[in-house]
Structure formats: C-alpha cells, structure tokens
C-alpha cells in the first residue's frame, strides 16, 4: 500500500503547522505591492517536502522536541529557494510555476528580480539576526551550487556533448545540493557534531540524485500523469536516459538523434522519434537502475541513525519521491 504525503507528515504535523504560521509572519511587509506578492507566494506553496526533510533530520540528529533554530533553518531554505525559483522563471521566460502564473508573468521581470533579491535578503537577515552562521553557510553554499549547476547545463546544452559524469555533476549541483542542505541544516540546527551533519548532508545528496533521475524519467512518458512528455527534449536538455541511449548507438544513429534534438522546434514527430529511440535502447531501464542505486545508498546512510518514528518517516519519504507519479 502506498503511503500518502499526509501520512508521512503525521509525526510532525504540529511542527509543520507552527512552521506555516512562522513562515507567513516572516513574509509580511509594510510595502503594499511587496506584501501582495508575498501573500501570493505563500498561497501557492508546493508539497512542503523541503521543511519535512529539515524537521525529520533534526529529530533523528537529537533535536526532539525541535529547537527554534530548526524552524529558522527551514524558513531560511524556503526563502532562499523561493528567491532562486523567482529568478529562474525570469531567466527561462516562464509564465507558469506549478500550474500558477509566475511572478514575472503577473508583475513583469523587473519586479520579479527585485522580489527575488528581497527574499534573498530576508533569508540572510533571518540568519544574521539570530547568529545562525552555521546554517547560513550551509544554505549559501547550496545556492552557489545551484547557480553553478544551472550555468554548466546552459553551457553544455549549446553543444549537446554531455557525458554521464557531467550530467551527474549538473544534477548534484542543481537538485541534490538543495535536499542535501535541508538535511545538513536539520542536523546542524539540532546541535549535532560535524560527522553527523556530514552524514545527514550525504544522505540528502543521494536522495536528491534519485529524485532528479525520477524527474527525468517523466519526460519519456513513464507515467500517465505529471509533466507533459518531451519537455526536456524540446528544451534540448540532455538527461540520463538519452545520454545512455546515445552511448549505445552507432555514429549515424547518434547524428540523426542529436539532429532531432537540436532542431526539434517543438515538432511532435521529432520529439517522439527521440523518445522511441531512448525506450528501444534501454535508456529508461538503465536510468531506473541508477535511481534505485542512489535510493539504496541513501537508505544505508539513514540506517546508521538510531531507529525512531522520524527515521521511518524519512524512509517513507524517500520511497515516496521515487515512486511518485507527478
């Protein structure tokens, strides 16, 4: 039986509710336009998986009941991550984010960039006012990694010459660094020692790698729901199933497929040809194997922490991220 997100969240439901109130309060401002935008951001929050990783990791690292620093750490991650998303939508000229209009679509680019800056400074001040330098260092490092990963992907997308190693570097920086920082912040906010913080960080990184590979698989229609099929191919993003499939292909096939990716112009037939090629070349099976390997590595690290309800919830959360269908 599949466990729902609400069931996984049950042991920390009270803390999540408290966090929600604190986070809303931290987003309030006397500047009218800004307050309106902050209200919009708070209202369209996603599944709240990041704060869950922070809280559960804090608990398995000795923070039970949760100290105030854990709530601040979760807020810091949400503020800085939201800032990067707002800026991302400007960079990608994207009008939607999770089915809602993006900030730049409603209020234009200039305002979106300033809102991102505001969120960033809110996060920095929250840490500095409370002397949470260790938490700030962890999260700032993740934001730096995110930017580097994004730039590396843009640079490589132009030439479409991504090897598996480069792909893993990109997703480690773009996706895994954020979940890794959630877990490191959780452990650090609970007053854990350096080794425990590093173990928690590595655990989060492995989960993040598996999470991103799962996301890449959606592009090939491995499930009926979720994001539309072929988005990554249309955007000329090289993901693991495609990279593996190209490695197995002969020179002529490789050239034809790369031509289709480069010049797809959103044409369904070309995108579909790439998807069929990947499926027939075993690209999906290979990516699933690698994803499961990362999941198993994450579970092995998690099992070095003492047994508890929070550890069980984290195991369920990992399986949820791997088995989700959207």
Structure tokens at 28: 């309030």
* Most confident residue range from 204-208, 271-275, 318-322: 204-208
As to burial, measured by CB atoms within 10 angstroms (0-12 exposed, 13-18 middle, 19+ buried), residue 203 is: buried
Judge whether 315 and 295 are in contact, CB under 8 Å: no
The pLDDT tens digits of the residues spanning 22-63 come to: 888 888 888 888 888 887 877 777 778 899 999 999 999 998
Judge whether 212 and 174 are in contact, CB under 8 Å: yes
Task: Kindly indicate the confidence band of residue 235, based on its pLDDT and cuts at 50, 70 and 90.
Answer: confident
Task: Specify which residues 96 forms β-bridges with.
Answer: 101
What pLDDT sits at residue 224? 47
* Residue 108 Cα distances to 11, 36, 104, 111, 118, angstroms: 41, 14, 4, 6, 16
The DSSP annotation for 234-279 comes to: HTT---HHHHHHHHHS-HHHHHHHHHHHHT-TT-HHHHHHHHHHHH
CA distance 320 to 326: 11
Task: Kindly indicate the confidence band of residue 222, based on its pLDDT and cuts at 50, 70 and 90.
Answer: low
The pLDDT tens digits of the residues spanning 73-123 come to: 999 999 888 888 888 778 777 776 666 777 887 788 888 888 889 889 999
Q: Nearest to residue 140, comparing CAs of 112, 158, 121, 160?
A: 121
Residue 223, pLDDT above cutoff 60: no
CA distance 236 to 214: 18
CA distance 49 to 10: 13
What pLDDT sits at residue 226? 44
Task: Specify which residues 97 forms β-bridges with.
Answer: 100
Task: Specify which residues 100 forms β-bridges with.
Answer: 97
DSSP one-letter code for 67: P
Residue 177, pLDDT above cutoff 70: yes
Helices (H), the chain: 5-9, 13-26, 32-43, 49-60, 68-91, 103-129, 133-159, 164-171, 177-189, 194-218, 231-234, 240-248, 251-262, 268-280, 283-302, 309-323
Q: Please tell me the least confidently modeled range out of 100-114, 126-140, 162-176, 308-322.
A: 100-114
What pLDDT sits at residue 211? 93
CA distance 28 to 249: 55
Structure tokens at 157: 């997308």
Judge whether 51 and 177 are in contact, CB under 8 Å: no
CA distance 249 to 244: 9
Instruction: For residue 247, say if its preceding peptide bond is cis, omega within 30 degrees of 0.
Output: no
Task: Give the helix/strand (H/E) hosting 130.
Answer: none
* Most confident residue range from 120-129, 176-185, 261-270: 176-185
Task: Give the helix/strand (H/E) hosting 224.
Answer: none
Q: Nearest to residue 50, comparing CAs of 25, 84, 2?
A: 84
Query: What is the Cα gyration radius of the chain?
Result: 20
Q: Structural domains in the chain?
A: 5-323 (1.10.600.10)
Residue 70, pLDDT above cutoff 90: yes
């Amino acid at each position: 039986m599949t466990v729902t997100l609400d069931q996984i969240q049950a042991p920390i439901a009270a803390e999540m509710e408290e966090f929600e109130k604190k986070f809303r309060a931290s987003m309030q401002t006397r500047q009218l336009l800004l307050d309106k935008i902050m209200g919009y951001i708070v209202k369209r929050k996603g599944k709240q998986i990041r704060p869950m990783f922070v809280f559960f990791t804090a608990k398995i690292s000795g923070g039970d009941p949760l100290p105030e620093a854990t709530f601040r750490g979760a807020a810091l991650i949400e503020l800085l991550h939201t800032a990067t998303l707002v800026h991302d939508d400007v960079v990608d000229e994207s009008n939607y984010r999770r089915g809602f209009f993006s900030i730049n679509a409603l209020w234009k680019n200039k305002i979106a960039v300033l809102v991102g800056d505001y969120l960033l400074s809110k996060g920095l001040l929250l840490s500095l006012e409370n002397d949470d330098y260790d938490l700030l260092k962890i999260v700032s490092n993740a934001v730096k990694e995110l930017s580097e990963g994004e730039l590396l992907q843009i640079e490589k997308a132009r030439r479409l010459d991504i090897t598996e190693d480069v792909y893993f570097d990109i997703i480690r920086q773009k996706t895994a660094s954020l979940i890794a920082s959630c877990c490191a912040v959780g452990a650090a906010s609970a007053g854990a020692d350096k080794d425990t913080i590093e173990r928690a960080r590595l655990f989060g990184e492995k989960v993040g790698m598996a999470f991103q590979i799962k996301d890449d698989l959606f592009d090939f229609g491995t499930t009926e729901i979720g994001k539309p099929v072929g988005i990554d191919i249309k955007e000329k993003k090289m993901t693991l199933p495609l990279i593996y499939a190209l490695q197995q292909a002969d020179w002529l096939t490789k050239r034809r497929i790369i031509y289709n990716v480069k010049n797809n112009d959103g044409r369904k037939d070309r995108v579909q040809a790439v998807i069929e090629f990947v499926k027939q070349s075993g690209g999906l099976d290979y990516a699933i194997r690698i994803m499961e390997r990362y999941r198993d590595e994450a579970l092995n690290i998690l099992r070095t922490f003492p047994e508890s309800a929070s550890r069980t919830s984290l195991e369920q959360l990992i399986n949820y991220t791997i088995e989700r269908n959207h």
